[in-house]
């Protein structure tokens, strides 16, 4: 069944325990109304336009088109525990190959776990300062959160791009930047 407009909004207001909603396709928007044809230089479908927005890291515009933030879902994986060592424990997702991801970088985010939403800051990328492997991941620091949730499912909603991912000269430089990112994210 396809729900649109008020019906979809009413369904989203129901308690999580009541039902499960899977949004498999964004609501249909006229791409011309949102400048998709102008932006892409072609007559484009809304889905193509949204894909382009995500690929460019334009998360706020993608959210406007989708009616909800662009979200990644998966089980929390073990990382190398560097974040915890630096005083910033994180949760890690390893998106499947081919998953649509925005450009590597740091994003203001929200993470949903067991029905509760936590403000977060997420890195999408390969963590070049701490890893020579080129494994794409989504690593998120959750504000006011201190639980062991390995293997449990989370949803990471990427809300707004903050800065590109980069390799730092030392762990101390990385820690200083994380301090700034986290302080700014708390107020974002």
Question: pLDDT digit string (tens) for 55-101?
Answer: 999 999 999 999 999 999 999 999 888 888 888 889 999 999 899 99
- Name the burial class of residue 126, with classes exposed (0-12), middle (13-18) and buried (19+) by CB atoms within 10 angstroms of its CB: middle
Q: What is the pTM of this model?
A: 0.77
pLDDT for 35 equals: 53
Residue 21 has pLDDT above 80, yes or no: no
Rg (CA), the chain: 18
Task: Write the pLDDT tens digit of every residue in 134-180.
Answer: 899 999 999 999 899 999 999 999 999 999 999 999 999 999 999 99
Average confidence score pLDDT of the chain:
83
pLDDT for 79 equals: 85
Q: How far is CA 64 from CA 53, 90, 159, 164, in A?
A: 11, 28, 11, 22
Three-state secondary-structure class, residue 128? coil
Query: Vertex 96, ends 92 and 97: CA angle to 5°?
Result: 125
Closest among 135, 124, 132 to 100, alpha carbons compared: 124
Report the alpha-carbon distance of residue 22 to residue 5 in Å, rounded.
Answer: 16
């Amino acid at each position: 069944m396809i729900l649109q407009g008020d019906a979809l909004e009413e369904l989203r207001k129901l308690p999580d325990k009541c039902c499960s909603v899977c949004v498999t396709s964004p609501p249909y928007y006229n791409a011309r109304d949102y400048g998709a044809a102008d932006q892409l230089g072609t007559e484009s479908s809304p889905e193509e336009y949204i894909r382009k927005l995500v690929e460019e890291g334009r998360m706020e515009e993608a959210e406007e088109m989708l009616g909800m933030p662009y979200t990644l879902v998966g089980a929390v994986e073990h990382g190398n525990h560097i974040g915890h060592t630096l005083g910033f424990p994180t949760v890690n997702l390893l998106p499947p190959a081919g998953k649509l991801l925005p450009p590597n970088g740091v994003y203001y985010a929200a993470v949903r776990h067991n029905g509760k939403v936590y403000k977060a800051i997420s890195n999408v990328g390969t963590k070049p300062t701490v890893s020579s492997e080129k494994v794409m991941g989504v690593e998120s620091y959750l504000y006011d959160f201190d639980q062991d949730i390995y293997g449990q499912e989370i949803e990471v909603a990427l809300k707004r791009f903050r800065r590109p991912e980069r390799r730092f000269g030392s762990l101390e430089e990385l820690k200083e930047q994380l301090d700034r990112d986290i302080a700014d994210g708390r107020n974002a």
